[in-house]
Chains A and B, each alone.
Chain A
Amino acid sequence: MPTAIRTSRKRNGRMARLAEVLPGPAMILPAVVALGIFQFLPLVVAVVNSFRSFNPFNQSPTGWVGLANYDEIFSDPGFQLAFVNTIAYIVIMLAATIPLALFLAVLLDQRLPGSTFARGAIVAALAASEAVSALIWNQLYDPRGGMFNAILAAVGLPEQPFLIGDTQSLLSIAAMSVWKDVGLPMLIFLAGLQAIPRELYEAAALDGAGPWRTFRNVTLPLLRPSLVVALFMMTITATRIFTPILILTQGGPNGATSNLAYYSYRLNFEFMAPGAASASVVCMLLVIVVITIAQTWLARGPKGV
């Protein structure tokens, strides 16, 4: 009798502990399964498939080929161009959006008349879809009779090829992306600026600091955390440029606007080469990993942000 009571109490205790611990794993289960299948499994599949050969007609795996897929893409000038362009998009986007976003944020923080309108317009560009944005800009960029060339002609400047120009095409796609995405770092900076105590500015004014010195010595150092977040976000955004390429140039002219994401897409869906496409996906993931690690290392800062 006493043993029965003890075991039942023990069982109750275990049940109670289980009831306390179980809801946690149960609640995260949908998230873990979904992210496992659709975010992490693709990474594994990309790596595995990059070492395989495939039947070009039905896309079924036919065997293991070691590094042959990597050899194939590394010797392809198209891959080399896509790799360089991936870096070029990142560099151009960061160089253009970060200063512009900072400028716009400082400007809007002054609460001048028209700020609500400008902020609304920038949020609108951010909320509009990439596809619609690209379709509109496609019209603006039209080399024969587009709005941009009409404006250039009206002010007496030479007309430009834009999307069909060898060097201008990548810049044109980047310019559209800057218009669309500069709101993201701007909103981050705006939130950062509003968190800076007004007394600091008053103290700087009492010390006789001009606007530029105040900006250099008060605003910029205190914006450092926002700057780090904005850099991370814009780097990811720049590696994601894809829809504008697909709609505006299909990677052309002669691969001048293709990047690694677009290159992998074409290998897989146009050239029916899943193995080489997977190798290219792995390269792109490595680029993202290396850049992220480098930025994390650089962003530690003197006191570690």
Chain B
Amino acid sequence: MSTVASAAASARPRRRRSAATRLFSARTLGTVVVILAGIVFAFPIALAAVYSLKATQDILSDQYPLSLASFIPLRPTLENYQTVFGPLNFQNNILNTLIAATGQVVMAVVCSTLAGYAFARLRFPGRDVIFSLLLLASFVSVEAILVPLYSITQWLGLTSTYVALFLPFACNPFGIYLMRQSFREIPVELEEAARLDGANVWRILFSIAIPNVLPALATLVLIQFIWAWNAYLWPVVIMQDPGKQIAQVALANMKSFPNFPMDGPLFAGATVITIPLVIMAIFLQKYYVRGLSSSGMK
């Protein structure tokens, strides 16, 4: 009896200690896995930045077989950046991307704010039916309707114009849904008070409603900007004027320069248009993630 009790007494602390070591080792293991996952996900983009500092010949010769030189620019050079911003005139493509992105952001903000507010707060016949119909459009991706969208844009006479780059996507169900949800979260009393003071709908929208949804507007601007910045497929199809071509397409064209490997400039261009964007998305993660998750609820 007493031996059993003493055995139990001596066993208890040992078991607790082993549980503690197990917890500790689980945390250590978890930390290792977390850091490994981070490295795996960061690797391709980081490697592009490393490659951008290597001469094209070094990129091709260093990566195989594996050595320290595969991961680190042992003979760093800025010649790729000089090529990209010199003879390739990549800054012109970046300017075109900025034009298209600005157009898309401005149109998306105007369209989504107006429609979002009307669907959230105003009463008019057919409101809910129209809203549900518009949301259905979120199942239609540009990849699916590329061919008919091209015919329509061509028929409108917009082929190879700046407007064609952003017009078809500037107004999308995601933005309308996001703004509608945000307007609905404003307490109705705020607007009621203004209405009793004699303010009309437009005054209420601009002086009360919009100032209360600025975080949602930031989300909308950020997401639309990233979408416009990253667009590739539609510009490939609709923009046949190389002088107005956007950066993503100009970059991909470097892959197939006839008889001349352009790996160095390609990675320099990729770094220029990716690293700032990615850093922006990481720092504005709160808005970015909010936008992504509501684009899923659309």
Contact = CB atoms under 8 A, between A and B. Distances in A.
Interface of A: 19, 21, 23-25, 27-28, 30-32, 34-35, 37-43, 45-46, 49, 104, 107-108, 110, 112-115, 117-140, 142, 144-147, 149-151, 153-154, 179, 184, 187-188, 191, 229-230, 232-233, 236, 239-243, 246-247, 261, 264-265, 268-269, 274, 277-278, 281, 284-285, 288-289, 292
Given A30-B114, A243-B233, A150 B263 contact: no
Contact of A128 (B63, B150, B267, B278): B278
B110 A131 contact: no
Interface residues of B, number: 95
24 contacts: A24-B123, A27-B115, A31-B176, A34-B167, A34-B170, A34-B171, A38-B149, A42-B145, A45-B151, A115-B34, A118-B35, A124-B41, A127-B226, A127-B282, A128-B45, A131-B230, A131-B248, A137-B44, A139-B59, A145-B60, A179-B41, A184-B296, A191-B293, A281-B146
Contacts of B149: 38, 42
Contacts of A242: 143, 233
A49 B148 contact: yes
A265 B148 CA distance: 10
B270 A43 contact: no
A251 to B, nearest CB: 14
A137 B296 CA distance: 27
Given A127-B288, A129-B229, A274 B147 contact: yes
Contact of B37 (A23, A37, A107): A107
A246 B274 contact: no
Given A239-B141, A281-B145, A28 B270 contact: no
Interface SS, A side: helix
A129 B33 CA distance: 26
Contact of B65 (A40, A128, A150): A150
B34 A23 contact: no
A123 B65 contact: no
B288 A123 contact: yes
Contacts of A265: 146-147
Contacts of B147: 46, 264-265, 268, 274, 277-278, 281
Contacts of A21: 123-125
A73 to B, nearest CB: 13
Contact of B273 (A23, A132, A187): A132
B257 interface: no
B286 to A, nearest CB: 11
Contacts of B255: 135, 138, 247
Given A117-B35, A127-B226, A127-B278, A281 B63 contact: no
A35 B127 contact: no
Interface string B96-134: 000000000001001110110111001111010010001
Contact of B282 (A28, A120, A137, A284): A120
A117 B152 contact: no
Contacts of A136: 44-45, 47-48, 267, 270
B78 to A, nearest CB: 20
A34 B112 CA distance: 11
A28 B118 contact: yes
A104 B107 CA distance: 36
A169 B266 CA distance: 23
Contacts, number: 278
Instruction: Identify the 10 closest CB pairs spanning chains A and B, nearest first.
Output: A24-B124, A118-B38, A127-B281, A129-B230, A34-B171, A145-B64, A31-B115, A27-B118, A24-B122, A42-B148
Contacts of B150: 268
B115 A239 contact: no
A129 B232 contact: yes
B206 interface: no
Contacts of A150: 63-66, 70
Given A32-B134, A247-B255, A229 B296 contact: yes
Contacts of A281: 144-148
B139 interface: yes
Given A25-B124, A121-B38, A240 B145 contact: no
A35 B132 CA distance: 13
Nearest to A22: B124
A188 B125 CA distance: 35
Contacts of B172: 35
B210 interface: no
Contact of B140 (A43, A127, A134, A147): A43
B144 A132 contact: no
A274 B151 contact: yes
A44 B91 CA distance: 39
B161 interface: no
Interface in B182-220: 200-202
A116 to B, nearest CB: 9
A243 B41 contact: no
Interface in B207-264: 226, 229-230, 232-233, 236-237, 248-249, 251-252, 255, 263
